[in-house]
Amino acid sequence: MTVDENLLLTTVTQLDPNGCILKLLCSLQAKPEEARTTEEGNLVRMFSDNQDSLTSANAAFVYAAGVGREAQDVVSCDKLFSKCLMEEEQLSRVLQQSWSCGEQVLH
């Protein structure tokens, strides 16, 4: 993981004190792969590929992904990240919106 990636994850963690991104990542791992949108699949892959390079910045993300993968149950994610009051569907919509903002900047 690069210094920039670590900085980004540290910033994201500070901006998300309720753990909603972690809850989303956990929920997406519990969701069947074929049921994920492209954006959801991309987010899951970002953290699935980082299990070997664990850092203090990505540890919570790797843990959340692991819980979802092992539990295969969104209820476990809801309990673990109970400070986040948003439902999975709401979190997915936010992901879709933020991903499309990034695409607009790149084009």
DSSP for 5-16 reads HHHHHHHHHHH-
CA nearest neighbour of 40 among 94, 87, 100, 95: 95
pTM of the full structure: 0.82
Q: Which residue has the tokens 């850092």?
A: 55
Does residue 104 carry a pLDDT above 60?
no
Domain ranges of the chain: 3-106
pLDDT value at residue 105: 44
Query: How many H-runs (helices) and E-runs (strands) does the chain carry?
Result: 6, 0
pLDDT per residue over 36-47, tens digit each? 999 899 888 887
pLDDT per residue over 77-86, tens digit each? 999 999 999 9
Round to whole Å and give the CA distance between 64 and 72. Answer: 12
